[in-house]
A and B are shown apart, each in its own frame.
Chain A
Amino acid sequence: MNLNTLYNLRWTVLPPVVGVAITVMAGLALVSAPTEVVEGDVQRLLYVHLPSALASYLSFGITAVCSALFLITRDFKWDAGAQAAALVGLIFTALTLITGALWGRPIWGVYWQWDPRITTTLILFLIFAAYLVARKSSELDNERVARFCSVYAIIGFLDVPLIHMSVRWWRTLHPQPIVSRLDPALPTEMLLVTLFSVAAVLLVAVWFIVLGVETELLSQRLLKIKGRVR
């Protein structure tokens, strides 16, 4: 089965699979998973928080790869992919930050902690929001802007390790209140639910990106048709 036939399954196979997976995930996360001893039921937010974070990294990675492919091939379908993935990434970054804050308030006592991972995620959000605003603020078929934004997306993605490193040093070289962190070693049942949630949310992200690509391609087609009519 080649890539194209796989892509053609997007309307028949992907939506029901995604729907079932996300429903099962909600059931598992809210009902089946055992209640955490220390944190209580709030810990169940982990099952949406962690997968959202992974989905946002996946989406931004896809944006960077599509941008590179656009620079190489100059084919606007890769530009459409980069834009769609960036938007999906932004949504999941926002969800990650919000669910993280809602978990942090009862557990840490604060909504926000200048933790390296949280801060890097916020900066990542700002970078790709700037990318999307810049890309959308000009015509769809402007090749110069598309090329420029692709370069920006790649640089932004490659900047992430540097940002993470600098924020971590910034925090560790300063005195800070000690925050009790979760013990990362999860019991097996919780681990299984987490893994399932990750798979489900990644599927949702893939479906969203496919839908987004479809929309971008449609608007490109519309632009082409309009150009021909005039």
Chain B
Amino acid sequence: MDLAYQYSCLISLTVADLKLTWREKSAWLTTALFACAALLIYSFALDLASGVVVSLLPGVIWTVFLFAGIFSASQSFHADRENGVLDALRISPVHPTIVYLSKTISNFVQLAAIQIPVLLGATVLFNEDIFQINIIMIVLLGTLGYCSLTTLLSALSFGSKSTNLMLPVMALPLLVPLLIACVEATASALDETPDGAPWMMLLVLFAIWTTLISALMFPLAD
């Protein structure tokens, strides 16, 4: 396998995918709007406008990100499958792992681009200093682990109806370690709980684990 060729394929596939996503605005716009609406719903449901909210905030933020991520992941292979891109790539010399990696990177960029404004918005809405560098680090790490797993799962080729229904059911139980680690790390960054180091370690471990296993498994699954 020619590594330099595969590497250039990775770059061009990622760029092409991002360009296509940018042009096809409906997918990431709905995800962003969903995240905003979910944040609003949570603030009504849990009465975040009054009282001490800082102990609830990590959970609220991460459940919003988790569900918004499912939203965007369920659409991620949609266009490719409809236009027969995946079949074309299968007969091309590009290694399937490269296809998977490019999709993961593209999903990661999309989701991170949505999450950062949501963090900014939450800072303004709840008067808590959420928009800080270590929380952004946690968000990026968590999103990496998240995207590498959901991208693999979204590659499933069920009928168009049940794909969107099955994805959260399949992904959420596997994502329990990620959710726990992200919530706890964010809480410790907000000075709610004392020690965030083990949770950061778990986040890194989860990201490495999901990326490795998905890269290995994708050629078998698709």
Contact = CB atoms under 8 A, between A and B. Distances in A.
**Direct contact between the two chains A and B in their complex (CB within 8 A):** yes
Interface of A: 71, 123, 126-127, 130-131, 133-134, 137-138, 144-145, 147-148, 150-152, 154-156, 158-159, 162-163, 165-167, 169-170, 173
B220 A151 contact: yes
Given A137-B166, A151-B220, A151-B221, 19 more contacts: A71-B220, A123-B176, A127-B173, A130-B169, A130-B173, A133-B166, A134-B169, A134-B170, A137-B162, A138-B162, A145-B157, A155-B213, A159-B177, A166-B180, A169-B184, A169-B202, A170-B184, A173-B184, A173-B193
B174 A167 contact: no
B159 interface: yes
Contacts of B206: 162
Contacts of A173: 184, 193, 195, 198
Interface of chain A: mostly helix, strand, loop or mixed: helix
A170 B220 CA distance: 34
B141 to A, nearest CB: 15
B217 A151 contact: yes
Interface residues on B, range: 20 to 34
Contact of A130 (B155, B170, B184, B214): B170
B158 interface: yes
A134 B214 CA distance: 19
Contacts of B193: 173
A148 B177 contact: no
Contacts of B159: 138
Contacts of B202: 165-166, 169
A145 B153 CA distance: 11
